[in-house]
Structure 1
């Protein structure tokens, strides 16, 4: 029996005061892959960063709240969980790159090894080995 994982159809999004700096941090600290970045100078209109095991995020520069841009998220209000096969190594990488530690690698009662950090914009990131429960067919 073969199974395939569908292409991502849900894309978490966030805004950043320094979007180009955040992109560089997410690549260095966590290993996201920069797929595309649109914008001029320091402004990022749209960026897609892929998570190597699957999925990804989209982000852009904060433009403030206005009627022309009703999709507004204050920078630093994002949180995500991502699956990794080696939480301990990723924790070391993230802290070496300057991520603020919320809690270090620990084992959970549901079988995950995970940690949580904050990026320079204030967003919360949790990484762990828990892949979620299987989908019902």
Structure 2
């Protein structure tokens, strides 16, 4: 391939994070449009792993906060950008779910239309139309 060839790529990077109450985070993300593909809890009901897919591509993985774990993360400190073709639909679903969101999406200088919000634990979510630039290979 020449240097100027542009290629598209499948979503293979999955943001992961931990939550004090993963069920609350899962529920709001499902309300926003994610699909709960898998959710594994132990006998005590502690969510060890959940996978939520975004219908337009990609997804996130999360589980209960494990402060002594080898890859522990402080809940509420993550941020993710989710590409969507319908920001207004996400905004409508967010409001219906009781999320605090701005009055209108923001039009960015780089061409994206975006809306941002926080989940119940404080993680930042931005839903926008900017799909990233094509990969030059």
TM range, smaller chain? 0.7 to 0.9
Number of corresponding residues? 130
User: Contact 2:8–2:135 at 8 Å: present in 1 too?
Assistant: no
Deviations 1:101-128 (A, max 9, x none): 2674011111111111011111000011
Structure 2: 5+ residue runs without aligned partners? 1-6
For residues 93 and 130 of structure 1, the distance between their equivalents in structure 2, rounded to whole angstroms, comes to: 20
Paired residue for 1:12?
15
CA contact (8 A) 1:34 1:48 kept: yes
Could you give the per-residue CA deviations for residues 35-56 of structure 1, whole angstroms, max 9, x where no partner exists?
1111134311111110101101
Spell out structure 1 runs of 4+ moving beyond 2 A: 3-6, 100-104
SS in 1 for 2:109: coil
CA RMSD between the two structures: 1.7
**Who is 1:32 aligned against?**
34
Give 1:107's aligned residue.
Answer: 107
Alpha-carbon distance in 1 for matches of 2:20, 2:102 = 22
TM-score where L is the length of structure 2? 0.87
